[in-house]
Amino acid sequence: MKQFSQITFMAVISTLAFACGSGQQNDSETDSVAEAVQAQDDNDGFVQIFDGSTLNGWDGDPTYWRVEDGALIGEITEETTLERNHFIIWQGGQPADFEFKAEFKITEAGNSGVNYRSDLVEGLDHALKGYQADIDGKNNYTGQNYEERKRTTLAYIGQKTKINPQEKEGDLRANVERNAWLGLEVTEELGDREEMRKVVKSNDWNKIHIIAKGNRLQHYINGTLMSDVTDEDPANRTMKGYLGMQVHVGPPMQVEYRNIFLKEL
Protein backbone atom coordinates (compact mmCIF):
# COMPACT_ATOMS: atom_id res chain seq x y z
CA MET A 1 0.00 0.00 0.00
CA LYS A 2 1.31 3.47 -0.86
CA GLN A 3 2.05 5.70 2.12
CA PHE A 4 0.02 8.87 2.50
CA SER A 5 1.67 12.20 3.19
CA GLN A 6 1.02 13.38 6.76
CA ILE A 7 -1.38 16.09 5.60
CA THR A 8 -3.41 13.73 3.43
CA PHE A 9 -3.44 11.06 6.13
CA MET A 10 -4.75 13.48 8.76
CA ALA A 11 -7.41 14.77 6.37
CA VAL A 12 -8.63 11.24 5.73
CA ILE A 13 -8.64 10.35 9.44
CA SER A 14 -10.53 13.54 10.31
CA THR A 15 -13.21 12.86 7.72
CA LEU A 16 -13.63 9.26 8.85
CA ALA A 17 -13.73 10.28 12.52
CA PHE A 18 -16.45 12.83 11.86
CA ALA A 19 -18.51 10.31 9.93
CA CYS A 20 -18.13 7.64 12.58
CA GLY A 21 -18.86 10.09 15.42
CA SER A 22 -22.08 11.16 13.80
CA GLY A 23 -23.08 7.57 13.23
CA GLN A 24 -23.23 7.90 9.49
CA GLN A 25 -21.09 8.53 6.43
CA ASN A 26 -22.91 10.06 3.48
CA ASP A 27 -21.91 9.86 -0.16
CA SER A 28 -20.23 13.27 -0.21
CA GLU A 29 -18.00 12.35 2.74
CA THR A 30 -17.08 9.08 1.06
CA ASP A 31 -16.25 10.98 -2.13
CA SER A 32 -14.04 13.42 -0.19
CA VAL A 33 -12.01 10.56 1.24
CA ALA A 34 -11.70 8.94 -2.19
CA GLU A 35 -10.59 12.23 -3.74
CA ALA A 36 -7.94 12.75 -1.04
CA VAL A 37 -6.58 9.25 -1.61
CA GLN A 38 -6.60 9.74 -5.39
CA ALA A 39 -4.80 13.09 -5.12
CA GLN A 40 -2.06 11.45 -3.07
CA ASP A 41 -1.76 8.57 -5.56
CA ASP A 42 -1.54 11.02 -8.47
CA ASN A 43 1.37 12.86 -6.82
CA ASP A 44 3.17 9.83 -5.43
CA GLY A 45 6.90 10.06 -6.08
CA PHE A 46 6.84 13.67 -7.31
CA VAL A 47 9.38 16.12 -5.88
CA GLN A 48 8.81 19.88 -5.81
CA ILE A 49 11.69 21.51 -7.72
CA PHE A 50 10.68 25.17 -7.30
CA ASP A 51 10.28 26.42 -3.73
CA GLY A 52 7.88 29.24 -4.62
CA SER A 53 9.96 31.97 -2.99
CA THR A 54 13.51 31.94 -4.42
CA LEU A 55 15.44 31.00 -7.57
CA ASN A 56 17.47 28.45 -5.62
CA GLY A 57 18.27 25.53 -7.92
CA TRP A 58 17.58 27.51 -11.10
CA ASP A 59 19.85 29.46 -13.43
CA GLY A 60 18.30 32.29 -15.43
CA ASP A 61 18.99 35.88 -16.37
CA PRO A 62 17.38 38.07 -13.66
CA THR A 63 16.60 40.61 -16.37
CA TYR A 64 13.85 38.25 -17.51
CA TRP A 65 13.16 35.93 -14.56
CA ARG A 66 12.00 36.56 -11.00
CA VAL A 67 9.82 35.09 -8.25
CA GLU A 68 6.62 36.79 -7.19
CA ASP A 69 3.56 35.61 -5.24
CA GLY A 70 4.69 31.99 -5.32
CA ALA A 71 5.26 31.93 -9.07
CA LEU A 72 8.32 31.78 -11.32
CA ILE A 73 7.80 34.69 -13.70
CA GLY A 74 9.38 35.25 -17.10
CA GLU A 75 8.79 38.70 -18.51
CA ILE A 76 9.82 40.82 -21.49
CA THR A 77 9.19 44.55 -21.40
CA GLU A 78 9.73 47.41 -23.83
CA GLU A 79 13.06 48.00 -22.09
CA THR A 80 14.19 44.34 -22.04
CA THR A 81 13.50 43.08 -25.55
CA LEU A 82 15.25 39.90 -26.68
CA GLU A 83 17.49 39.15 -29.63
CA ARG A 84 17.19 35.41 -29.01
CA ASN A 85 15.21 33.05 -26.80
CA HIS A 86 16.27 32.78 -23.15
CA PHE A 87 15.69 29.98 -20.64
CA ILE A 88 15.75 29.52 -16.92
CA ILE A 89 17.39 26.14 -16.40
CA TRP A 90 16.92 23.68 -13.54
CA GLN A 91 20.25 22.78 -11.96
CA GLY A 92 19.17 19.56 -10.24
CA GLY A 93 20.17 17.12 -12.96
CA GLN A 94 19.50 15.95 -16.49
CA PRO A 95 16.40 13.76 -16.30
CA ALA A 96 16.00 10.82 -18.66
CA ASP A 97 12.66 9.07 -18.07
CA PHE A 98 10.39 11.29 -15.99
CA GLU A 99 7.04 12.94 -15.42
CA PHE A 100 6.80 16.72 -15.05
CA LYS A 101 3.82 18.63 -13.66
CA ALA A 102 3.28 22.36 -13.28
CA GLU A 103 0.73 25.13 -13.64
CA PHE A 104 1.22 27.99 -16.08
CA LYS A 105 -0.44 31.26 -17.01
CA ILE A 106 0.56 33.37 -20.01
CA THR A 107 -0.50 36.71 -21.47
CA GLU A 108 -2.09 36.89 -24.92
CA ALA A 109 1.12 38.06 -26.63
CA GLY A 110 3.20 35.47 -24.78
CA ASN A 111 5.33 32.69 -26.21
CA SER A 112 6.99 30.17 -23.93
CA GLY A 113 7.42 26.46 -23.35
CA VAL A 114 8.98 23.76 -21.19
CA ASN A 115 12.18 22.32 -22.62
CA TYR A 116 13.39 18.88 -21.54
CA ARG A 117 16.05 16.34 -22.51
CA SER A 118 17.82 19.40 -23.89
CA ASP A 119 21.46 20.37 -24.45
CA LEU A 120 23.15 23.62 -23.60
CA VAL A 121 24.01 25.77 -26.63
CA GLU A 122 27.73 26.29 -26.81
CA GLY A 123 28.78 29.92 -26.58
CA LEU A 124 25.37 31.21 -25.46
CA ASP A 125 24.22 31.79 -21.91
CA HIS A 126 20.81 30.47 -20.86
CA ALA A 127 20.15 28.81 -24.23
CA LEU A 128 18.82 25.28 -24.77
CA LYS A 129 18.23 23.06 -27.76
CA GLY A 130 15.91 20.09 -27.56
CA TYR A 131 12.34 18.92 -27.05
CA GLN A 132 9.79 21.52 -25.99
CA ALA A 133 6.22 21.37 -24.79
CA ASP A 134 5.07 24.55 -26.51
CA ILE A 135 2.96 27.22 -24.78
CA ASP A 136 1.57 30.42 -26.33
CA GLY A 137 -0.95 33.06 -25.31
CA LYS A 138 -2.98 32.91 -28.51
CA ASN A 139 -3.25 29.14 -28.05
CA ASN A 140 -2.11 28.24 -31.54
CA TYR A 141 0.56 25.80 -30.37
CA THR A 142 0.01 25.00 -26.69
CA GLY A 143 0.76 21.32 -26.13
CA GLN A 144 2.51 20.57 -29.40
CA ASN A 145 6.02 19.09 -29.51
CA TYR A 146 8.55 21.51 -30.99
CA GLU A 147 12.27 20.83 -30.97
CA GLU A 148 14.12 24.08 -30.26
CA ARG A 149 17.14 24.75 -32.52
CA LYS A 150 16.91 21.24 -33.99
CA ARG A 151 14.21 19.42 -35.97
CA THR A 152 11.43 21.99 -35.32
CA THR A 153 7.84 20.62 -35.18
CA LEU A 154 7.61 16.93 -34.25
CA ALA A 155 3.86 16.86 -33.58
CA TYR A 156 1.15 19.48 -33.93
CA ILE A 157 -1.80 19.69 -31.54
CA GLY A 158 -3.97 16.60 -31.89
CA GLN A 159 -1.31 14.42 -33.50
CA LYS A 160 0.25 11.12 -32.52
CA THR A 161 3.40 10.83 -34.62
CA LYS A 162 6.38 8.67 -35.43
CA ILE A 163 9.58 10.59 -36.16
CA ASN A 164 11.57 8.96 -38.93
CA PRO A 165 15.31 9.50 -39.52
CA GLN A 166 16.65 12.19 -41.79
CA GLU A 167 16.53 11.32 -45.48
CA LYS A 168 17.91 14.41 -47.23
CA GLU A 169 21.65 14.94 -47.16
CA GLY A 170 23.11 17.96 -45.39
CA ASP A 171 22.46 19.52 -42.02
CA LEU A 172 19.23 19.13 -40.07
CA ARG A 173 17.61 22.10 -41.81
CA ALA A 174 17.80 20.20 -45.09
CA ASN A 175 15.08 17.95 -43.66
CA VAL A 176 12.85 20.80 -42.41
CA GLU A 177 10.07 22.33 -44.46
CA ARG A 178 7.55 24.96 -43.29
CA ASN A 179 8.96 24.71 -39.78
CA ALA A 180 8.25 20.97 -39.49
CA TRP A 181 10.43 17.86 -39.71
CA LEU A 182 9.91 16.02 -42.99
CA GLY A 183 10.22 12.74 -41.13
CA LEU A 184 7.06 13.55 -39.13
CA GLU A 185 4.63 10.68 -39.81
CA VAL A 186 1.14 11.02 -38.35
CA THR A 187 0.00 7.63 -37.04
CA GLU A 188 -3.21 8.75 -35.33
CA GLU A 189 -5.39 11.82 -34.85
CA LEU A 190 -6.02 12.41 -31.15
CA GLY A 191 -9.06 14.61 -31.73
CA ASP A 192 -10.35 17.71 -33.41
CA ARG A 193 -7.72 20.44 -33.01
CA GLU A 194 -10.16 23.28 -32.49
CA GLU A 195 -12.06 21.36 -29.83
CA MET A 196 -8.80 20.39 -28.11
CA ARG A 197 -7.68 24.01 -27.99
CA LYS A 198 -10.80 24.83 -25.97
CA VAL A 199 -9.41 22.97 -22.94
CA VAL A 200 -6.78 25.71 -22.55
CA LYS A 201 -7.90 28.69 -20.45
CA SER A 202 -6.79 32.07 -21.79
CA ASN A 203 -4.84 34.29 -19.38
CA ASP A 204 -5.64 31.89 -16.53
CA TRP A 205 -3.95 29.01 -14.77
CA ASN A 206 -3.58 25.74 -16.70
CA LYS A 207 -1.98 22.42 -15.84
CA ILE A 208 0.79 20.89 -17.93
CA HIS A 209 1.91 17.27 -17.60
CA ILE A 210 4.82 15.86 -19.60
CA ILE A 211 5.63 12.15 -19.69
CA ALA A 212 8.95 11.13 -21.26
CA LYS A 213 9.60 7.40 -21.19
CA GLY A 214 12.07 5.78 -23.56
CA ASN A 215 11.55 7.34 -26.96
CA ARG A 216 7.89 8.23 -26.32
CA LEU A 217 6.99 11.81 -25.37
CA GLN A 218 3.48 12.83 -24.30
CA HIS A 219 2.19 16.34 -23.55
CA TYR A 220 -1.03 16.84 -21.57
CA ILE A 221 -2.79 20.16 -20.95
CA ASN A 222 -5.54 20.19 -18.29
CA GLY A 223 -5.71 16.41 -18.53
CA THR A 224 -6.06 16.25 -22.33
CA LEU A 225 -3.38 14.50 -24.40
CA MET A 226 -2.38 17.19 -26.89
CA SER A 227 0.53 15.46 -28.65
CA ASP A 228 2.20 12.05 -28.56
CA VAL A 229 5.60 11.49 -30.21
CA THR A 230 7.56 8.28 -30.72
CA ASP A 231 11.05 9.30 -31.82
CA GLU A 232 12.57 6.72 -34.15
CA ASP A 233 15.51 8.93 -35.15
CA PRO A 234 18.51 7.61 -33.14
CA ALA A 235 20.96 10.06 -34.71
CA ASN A 236 19.06 13.14 -33.56
CA ARG A 237 16.91 12.18 -30.57
CA THR A 238 18.07 12.69 -27.00
CA MET A 239 17.33 10.38 -24.10
CA LYS A 240 18.26 12.71 -21.24
CA GLY A 241 19.13 16.36 -20.74
CA TYR A 242 18.42 19.70 -19.16
CA LEU A 243 15.00 20.99 -18.12
CA GLY A 244 14.04 24.65 -18.43
CA MET A 245 11.38 27.23 -19.24
CA GLN A 246 11.51 29.75 -22.06
CA VAL A 247 10.87 33.40 -22.78
CA HIS A 248 10.64 33.84 -26.54
CA VAL A 249 11.69 36.64 -28.84
CA GLY A 250 8.73 38.92 -29.52
CA PRO A 251 6.60 41.70 -28.04
CA PRO A 252 6.31 42.40 -24.30
CA MET A 253 4.82 39.40 -22.51
CA GLN A 254 4.65 37.56 -19.24
CA VAL A 255 4.51 33.87 -18.38
CA GLU A 256 4.13 32.39 -14.89
CA TYR A 257 4.88 28.90 -13.61
CA ARG A 258 4.02 27.52 -10.18
CA ASN A 259 3.65 24.17 -8.36
CA ILE A 260 6.49 22.65 -10.37
CA PHE A 261 7.02 18.95 -9.67
CA LEU A 262 9.25 16.23 -11.16
CA LYS A 263 9.21 12.46 -10.81
CA GLU A 264 12.12 10.54 -12.30
CA LEU A 265 11.15 7.06 -13.48
* pLDDT for residue 138 is more than 70: yes
Amino acid making up residue 217:
L
188: how many CB neighbours lie within 10 A of its CB? Answer: 10
Asked if pLDDT for residue 5 goes beyond 50, the answer is no
Confidence of residue 12 (pLDDT cuts 50, 70, 90): very low
Residue 14: per-residue pLDDT: 44
The per-residue pLDDT for range 139-194, each reduced to its tens digit, is 999 999 999 999 999 999 999 999 999 998 889 999 999 999 999 999 999 999 99
Question: How far apart, in whole angstroms, are the C-alpha atoms of residue 132 and residue 113?
Answer: 6
* pLDDT of the residue at 17: 47
The residue length of the chain stands at: 265
Q: Is pLDDT at 3 greater than 60 in this prediction? A: no
pLDDT tens across 219-244, in order? 999 999 999 999 999 999 999 999 99
- Give the pLDDT score at 43: 75
For the residues 37-50, what does the mean pLDDT come to?
76
Q: Which helix (H) or strand (E) holds 72?
A: strand 71-76
